[in-house]
Amino acid sequence: MAELRLSIRETMAPGANLMERFQNLRRLGFDGIEITASSRLELADEILRAKEATGIQPTITSAGAGCLIDPRKEERDLAVQSHREAIELAARIGAVGVLTVPGIKIRMQPDRPRIPDLRPLKSTPELEFDLMVALYGELADYAQQHGVFLIIEPLNRYEQYFPRTLADGIKICQTIGSPHCKIMADLFHMNIEEAEIAASLREAGDYLANVHLADSNRQTPGRGHTDFLSAFRALKEIGYSYFCGLECGVPGDQEAELSRTVKYLRETWERA
């Protein structure tokens, strides 16, 4: 039976610096950490020292600058470069891969333009999809060269136009056709966009390489109405072996709440 491997976003981990965060996560019962604020190549040695000292595994890196579907080439080039550096960092620190969210900046930054509608040639969504496929295809090849994954994250309609569902993310992967192009599932976004969370997880199967855990109110699991039991059963059925990471608000005393959440999730996984 697969074990639950729990991680958390770097900025959610208690501690004044990277080493303290790794140490506190070990004490609180976590297995891994998602590298976000420290997702820079020059910090690779510091991350590795913390990893060696604590046994906490860096699980993913994050691409920051630029936007892959921006109409301005300089922004796309910047995004490609930031993804390549995050891929290199993932390989250096033994992470699963780089997490990428293709359209959040287009949706959430009002001053950032979208590609214009060029119908009858192609519509804006069609052109954005073509850009994702072209640039993610190149990046998936780069990830394969480094032995890691490119991991695409669908978000809900209020944060991203596309991809929004796991099926949307799988469509990108299938069009690219690379075994190093994967997706991740975030239960908060799925609660908004998916008809049935467990069924969507089963259908995603081997395309899944990361999972984010947050309750329906985007708080720590067990604070809302999301059915984590059925979601965990689905993950067990597909043989999911990567990490499940917290990405959510933490109410009250941070350490006490994280400790409660770890206990709740591990007990729920055991019952699933």
Residues carrying an active site annotation: 153, 247
What residues contact residue 247 under an 8 Å CB cut-off, 6+ apart? 8, 9, 12, 34, 186, 188, 212, 213, 214
Which of 184, 183, 159 lies closest to 108, judged by CA? Answer: 159
H/E segment holding residue 62: strand 60-62
What residues contact residue 26 under an 8 Å CB cut-off, 6+ apart? 54, 55, 56
Strand partners, 184: 210
Q: Output the CA torsion 4→25→33→13 (10° steps).
A: 130
Which of 151, 155, 141 lies closest to 206, judged by CA? Answer: 151
